Amino acid sequence: MSDLEAPLRPKRKKVWVDYFVQFRWIIVIFVVLPISFTLYFLTYLGDVKSECKSFKQRQKEHDENVKKVVKRLKERNPKKDGLVCTARKPWIAVGMRNVDYKRARHFEVDLSAFRNVLDIDKERMIARVEPLVNMGQISRVTVPMNLSLAVVAELDDLTVGGLINGYGIEGSSHLYGLFSDTVVAYEIVLADGQVVRATKDNEYSDLFYAIPWSQGTLGLLVAAEIKLIPVKEYMKLTYKPVVGNLKELAQGYMDSFAPRDGDQDNPNKVPDFVETMIYSPTEAVCMTGVYASKEEAKMKGNKINNVGWWFKPWFYQHAQTALKKGEFVEYIPTREYYHRHTRCLYWEGKLILPFADQWWFRFLLGWMMPPKVSLLKATQGEAIRNYYHEMHVIQDMLVPLYKVGDALEWVHREMEVYPIWLCPHRLYKLPVKTMVYPEPGFEQHHRQGDTHYAQMYTDVGVYYAPGPVLRGEVFDGSEAVRKMENWLIENHGFQPQYAVSELNEKNFWRMFDADLYEHCRRKYGAVGTFMSVYYKSKKGRKTEKEVQEAEQAILETPDAEAA
């Protein structure tokens, strides 16, 4: 068997859950989609109502809500009450890991009112927003002004708070880094109720660098100031097919945005947006976009594609046509391009509703897409949730750019998941070592895509049912994830914590660096108030005793006294 051949697996005997999943589309069409559409509409009305208020009024309401949070925190009795977490229901989170920490006794703080855009400062090019503002909401406000966040995550429902405390990326991350890299200030309520503003150069600079990837375990984020960039009305998108083995597909992807001469900061050589979709072990389509004015887009001979219309083909299937018809160029309205994967949830929509990509469904019911991920989780139950953990993969592998080919071969050999999404991002060399960090000494190698101040990484997005599952063969999802996590640790890669993880505590802190995080946990009183990031991300139920013992162990370490 060659290195690329997947292992032979025995057939798996079907159980009742298989049939339930197969016909789950009935519940999705008649229950989930109508409720989702209603919630989307009500949320939109709430956003419109908020936008009718002046920034001054929104700021006043924000200050009042912050006072409520401070008051609530001060009501907590550490001896009687559990650890602090938000009052948001577990199923509402967009992430796929179990939110089982909320099943133990805990002290809830309600942040549901924090969903307003507080200010758009065109002079400073800063948007000040609350943590529950989502990507659809902020792009609806900024794009008509020819402004945008530097990094706009593709799915509408992803919130600012989740993208900061967790992980966020987009096709512009090869220029600006991850979503958290575009934040210039955080407003945080600490464990003792103190409200602080953390920036990279004030007295809370350590907290500023520690907040990303911390999963809200250092304090409660109540506002963020995020970098804005000027944009134009359209995205000029080039679709380029690539054919070859996986290493050749990876090289074609690298060449689409990373000049081989190392001139990575030259805007004439590097596009504004980049993504690649690997459709099979031998076929891929690389997409590169540059902003374009409406005058250019409407020039004779140019094709405009409004991909946001409900009846349009799903974006990943539209891009796939380049494999047959060859390279082509079209213009897409900027906001529609940002959210191009929302309607079909990348390609997960094909598993949820197998016929939803057909023209008749798109025309008749496409306007109700997508189903809300939170409602899909709320209607699946324990057995279905466990089935998806074992028989389905939703993982992002963040790997150095030069190791993308190796990562693709590993995914093919162990999971056989297609399509695969590739999106590059910078991992900056910062003044302090954060939870995620570039390879030591990367700048000395002068590899393709790297600069002296940032190493180029890639998100290898693996979302779908593995090949063995589709063929009815035995597949151990937990073991596959364990192998993936070990591969990432060995190759200086990272796993975003929204996903299901099999990491034990030792390996968690082999993947991520703990020093700054633990320093801030102690310095700002988070120990004994907020759950640690490992226990919050840990798979399975967290007993109150288990968490309390872990917190006590940290409090009793010598470093805690020094802090």
pTM, rounded to two decimals: 0.92
Rounded CA gap, 335 and 475, in Å? Answer: 39
User: pLDDT grade, residue 383 (50/70/90)?
Assistant: confident
User: pLDDT grade, residue 458 (50/70/90)?
Assistant: very high
Question: Which of the residue ranges 11-15, 87-91, 367-371, 374-378 has the most confident prediction, judged by mean pLDDT?
Answer: 367-371
Other C-beta atoms lying within 10 Å of the C-beta of residue 126: 18
For residue 185, the model assigns a pLDDT of 98
What's the gap between Cα 91 and its chain centre?
17
Q: For 72-92, what is each residue's pLDDT tens digit?
A: 999 998 888 888 888 676 545
For residue 12, the model assigns a pLDDT of 84
Residues 6+ apart with CB under 8 A from 363: 311
Q: For 32-50, what is each residue's pLDDT tens digit?
A: 999 999 999 999 999 999 9
* Residue linked to tokens 């079209």: 330
Q: For 391-409, what is each residue's pLDDT tens digit?
A: 889 999 999 999 999 999 9
Other C-beta atoms lying within 10 Å of the C-beta of residue 494: 22
Alpha helices in 342-403 (DSSP H): 349-352, 359-365, 373-378, 381-391
For residue 81, the model assigns a pLDDT of 81
Q: What is the mean pLDDT of residues 195-199?
A: 97
DSSP code string of 199-213: -TTSTTHHHHHHSTT
Q: For 231-288, what is each residue's pLDDT tens digit?
A: 999 999 999 999 999 999 999 999 999 999 999 999 999 999 999 999 999 999 999 9
Mean model confidence pLDDT for the chain = 90
* The token pair that represents 339 in the structure block: 């959210």
Q: What is the mean pLDDT of residues 360-365?
A: 95
12 with 472: CB under 8 angstroms?
Answer: yes
Q: For 516-551, what is each residue's pLDDT tens digit?
A: 999 999 999 999 899 899 988 876 555 556 666 666
Question: Rounded to 5 degrees, what are φ and ψ at 420?
Answer: -120, 135
Residue 320 DSSP class: H
SS3 content of the chain, % helix, strand, coil (to 5): 40, 20, 40
**Planar angle of CA 308, 314, 316, nearest 5 degrees:** 115
For residue 340, the model assigns a pLDDT of 95
For residue 154, the model assigns a pLDDT of 87
Rounded CA gap, 393 and 374, in Å? Answer: 17
**Planar angle of CA 193, 195, 201, nearest 5 degrees:** 140
User: pLDDT grade, residue 389 (50/70/90)?
Assistant: confident
> Where are any strands of DSSP class E within 101-233?
106-109, 117-121, 126-129, 147-149, 183-189, 195-198, 220-230
Q: What is the mean pLDDT of residues 431-442?
A: 96
For residue 563, the model assigns a pLDDT of 39
Q: What is the mean pLDDT of residues 490-501?
A: 92
Size of the chain, expressed as the number of residues it contains: 563
Q: What is the mean pLDDT of residues 475-484?
A: 93
Percent of the chain surpassing pLDDT 70: 91
Percent of the chain surpassing pLDDT 90: 74
Is residue 455 predicted with pLDDT exceeding 60?
yes
For residue 562, the model assigns a pLDDT of 39
Is residue 429 predicted with pLDDT exceeding 50?
yes
Instruction: Give 373 or 115, the one with higher predicted confidence.
Output: 115
Rounded CA gap, 366 and 393, in Å? Answer: 25
User: Domains of the chain, with CATH numbers?
Assistant: 58-230 (3.30.465.10), 234-384 (no CATH), 387-492 (no CATH)
Distances (CA, A) of 169 to 266, 341, 449: 21, 13, 17
For residue 125, the model assigns a pLDDT of 97
* The token pair that represents 104 in the structure block: 């133990």
User: pLDDT grade, residue 358 (50/70/90)?
Assistant: very high
